[in-house]
Amino acid sequence: MKLKRSEAQSSARQFRLRGYWVVGALLLGASGIVGRAVYMQVLSPQFFVDQGDERFMRNVKIPAHRGAILDRAGEPIAVSTPVDTVWVVPKELATAADQFSVLAKALQRDEEWLARQVTSHLDTPYLVLARQLQPDEADRIKALHLPGVYLQREYRRFYPAGEVTGHVLGFTGNDDQGQEGMELAFEQKLLGEPGLKRVIQDRMRRTVENVESVRPARPGEDLITSIDLRIQYLAYRELKAAVRDFQARAGSAVVIDVRTGEILAMVDQPAFNPNDRAQFDVQRYRNRVETDILEPGSSVKPFFVIAALASGKFNASSVIDTSPGFIRVGNRVFEDEHNWGQMDFATILAKSSNVGMAHIALALDRSAIWNTLSSLGFGQVSATGFPGESAGVLTNYTHWGDVQVATMAHGYGMSVTPLQLAQAYAVVGALGVRRPLTLRRVDGVVPAGDRVLDAQVCRDAIHMLESVVLNGTGTKAAVRGYRVAGKTGTAWKAIPGGYSTNKYMAVFGGVVPASAPRFAMVVVIDDPSNGKYYGGDVAAPVFSAVMAGALRLLAVPPDDLSRIPSASFVQSEVPR
């Protein structure tokens, strides 16, 4: 019995000892947990703070306001306005399926479309339903208080002048970044730099608290252009009317300030409205003034005359015998409408004699012709920086034969852009000084430019070009009260295998006032088809109307007092 009692007591002691060990282990574990908790939450809490931040704190971009584009007088022609993007969390929105009709109506979409979008993207954390809504539209959606529907502020470009400035300005994409025109050419200046801020968001990505600003947004710089919106409107209106009235395929016009190289107006037809993205078709929005090339026809003849005067082989009084009214060069025959016999240079230009021009060009060194044309800017891109600008086609003189020289002398065998042609007339108007063309307003000192032609040669050429407008092919380019110097051009359009004999490019280029040129302008009408197609009938009237308005708008005094108009003409309406 004593043995059994001893065994029982020993077993009890072991049981109590094991209990003490278990309790001790539990107390030790609890102490460790408490100690760790005290350490983590009191002595060193940063770990959990960091972990919480990782789950709820986000870096959010602050959109930068894109710089405005202004005309030379400070009138806004491109501005960014606040808009909102509607995005949803599909899983959350799906819980309110009975409200789909309300949301679809606010989005101006079909309820079935909305349901399909949501249900097919349930595993997507972020789905955009609409972009660039006006603030009032966004407020109506916000007022619905639907689960999973959120708004994000963005900016959209707006163009107050619409299609009047569409081609020169271009447009931006949905992210407010330049895609075409000046918007793309000056992207780095206009874009700015987005800012960054740190915020706390809940699980639905709603901002609960703004924590700190990491980097402030830097708005884009405003761009003051060389464009004069009043002259731009004049050019747009007159070009559009001409394209419509003559049932033309397209048209282009550009106005340059001879003194500074500033482009005051640049328009194309057909036009497009950059506010309407449905019109964003490359055939409509490309800027033909800078990108399209054409064979200029007789509008290039003055520059061959200038090459002749600059060579020293001819002077302003030189006479060319064009009898018997045609000239054979190689296997080609070049002819005039009539046999005009002996003509001086002014008459050759006034009557646009192909025979006279062929005689002049063939008498010159080919290098002299090429140097003159190259110095005027042909075969090169300008300094405007406009995207997609063409350099035209001017092959080196070493590749020219006699036929090509005679052909080029009346505007074929070389290709130019309307802008290049206008720049060449601007150089002549500046009496031989070639200034870089610019789409930005020139403030302060005007660029000195490079002298590429003798001033007297240019004066002689301008005097000759006046005869074209006074009693030649360009009489419809006349501006009452002002002396006008210019040249018409009518060229067959190139087609595969040769030239079309019933499709034309009608051109007029010139400077005004001739006594002290202020403006150079070129007008191109592509394929007029209502029976009239000569540059003097189709393009010259556009030049006259635009220049008449521009001269009055900028208060350029008349230089031909013998041709002062009547009071009723002086007071004709000009947009202001």
Whole-number Å distance between alpha carbons of 453 and 472: 25
Query: For position 45, what pLDDT does the model report?
Result: 67
Higher pLDDT, 79 or 19: 79
Query: For position 152, what pLDDT does the model report?
Result: 79
Higher pLDDT, 435 or 146: 435
How does pLDDT run across 92-143, given as a tens digit for each residue? 887 877 778 888 888 888 888 888 888 888 777 778 888 878 778 888 888 8
| Contact in structure between 358 and 327 (CB atoms under 8 Å) | yes
Helix or strand (DSSP H, E) at 196: strand 195-201
SS3 of the chain: helix, strand, coil, percent, to 5:
40, 25, 35
Q: What percent of the chain has pLDDT over 70?
A: 89
Query: For position 200, what pLDDT does the model report?
Result: 65
Reduced to 3 states (helix: H, G, I; strand: E, B; else coil), residue 131 is: strand
Query: For position 570, what pLDDT does the model report?
Result: 33
Does the reported pTM lie above 0.85?
no
Q: Among the listed ranges 138-147, 395-404, 537-546, which one has the minimum average pLDDT value? A: 138-147
* Equal CATH topology for 60-224 and 229-274+287-570: no
Give the chain's radius of gyration (CA, Å): 37
Backbone conformation region of residue 498, classed left if phi is above 0, alpha if psi is from -120 to 50, else beta: left
Query: For position 506, what pLDDT does the model report?
Result: 96
Q: Among the listed ranges 37-41, 136-140, 168-172, which one has the minimum average pLDDT value? A: 37-41
Q: CB under 8 Å to 296, separation ≥6 — which residues? A: 411, 414, 416, 421, 489, 491, 505, 507
Whole-number Å distance between alpha carbons of 73 and 484: 27
The DSSP bridge partners found for residue 255 are 265, 521
| CB neighbours of residue 87 within 10 Å | 17
Q: Hey, where are the domains in the chain?
A: 60-224, 229-274+287-570
The reply to whether CATH 3.40.710.10 applies to domain 229-274+287-570 is yes
How does pLDDT run across 8-21, given as a tens digit for each residue? 777 777 777 777 78
User: What does 80-108 look like in DSSP terms, one character per residue?
Assistant: EEEEEEEEE-HHHHHTTGGGHHHHHHHHT
Query: For position 44, what pLDDT does the model report?
Result: 66
Q: Is the pLDDT of residue 569 over 60?
A: no
Average pLDDT over every residue of 16-43:
78
Own/partner pairs for 113-118, CB < 8 Å, 24+ apart? 117/90, 118/88, 118/90, 118/93, 118/94
Q: Is the pLDDT of residue 542 over 80?
A: yes
Instruction: Say whether 120 is catalytic.
Output: no
The DSSP bridge partners found for residue 393 are 415
| Contact in structure between 208 and 201 (CB atoms under 8 Å) | yes
**pLDDT band at residue 55 under the 50/70/90 scheme:** low
Higher pLDDT, 200 or 549: 549
How does pLDDT run across 249-285, given as a tens digit for each residue? 999 999 999 999 999 999 999 998 998 877 777 777 7
Q: Is the pLDDT of residue 326 over 90?
A: yes
How does pLDDT run across 489-533, given as a tens digit for each residue? 999 988 888 888 889 999 999 999 999 999 999 999 999 998 899
Query: For position 225, what pLDDT does the model report?
Result: 96
Whole-number Å distance between alpha carbons of 211 and 143: 27
Q: Is the pLDDT of residue 7 over 80?
A: no
Query: For position 573, what pLDDT does the model report?
Result: 32
How does pLDDT run across 236-248, given as a tens digit for each residue? 999 999 999 999 9
Helix or strand (DSSP H, E) at 153: strand 149-158
How does pLDDT run across 366-396, given as a tens digit for each residue? 999 999 999 999 999 988 889 889 999 999 9
Residue of 252, 298, 299, 352 marked active site: 298
Half-sphere exposure of 258 (CA within 13 A, CB side): 23
Q: Among the listed ranges 185-199, 375-389, 393-407, 411-425, which one has the minimum average pLDDT value? A: 185-199
Query: For position 574, what pLDDT does the model report?
Result: 32
| Contact in structure between 547 and 479 (CB atoms under 8 Å) | yes
Q: Among the listed ranges 22-31, 74-83, 157-166, 445-454, which one has the minimum average pLDDT value? A: 22-31
Mean pLDDT, the chain, integer: 87
Whole-number Å distance between alpha carbons of 495 and 401: 23
The DSSP bridge partners found for residue 133 are 84
Q: What percent of the chain has pLDDT over 90?
A: 58
Higher pLDDT, 424 or 110: 424
What architecture is domain 60-224?
Answer: Alpha-Beta Complex (3.90)
Whole-number Å distance between alpha carbons of 325 and 321: 9
Higher pLDDT, 196 or 557: 557
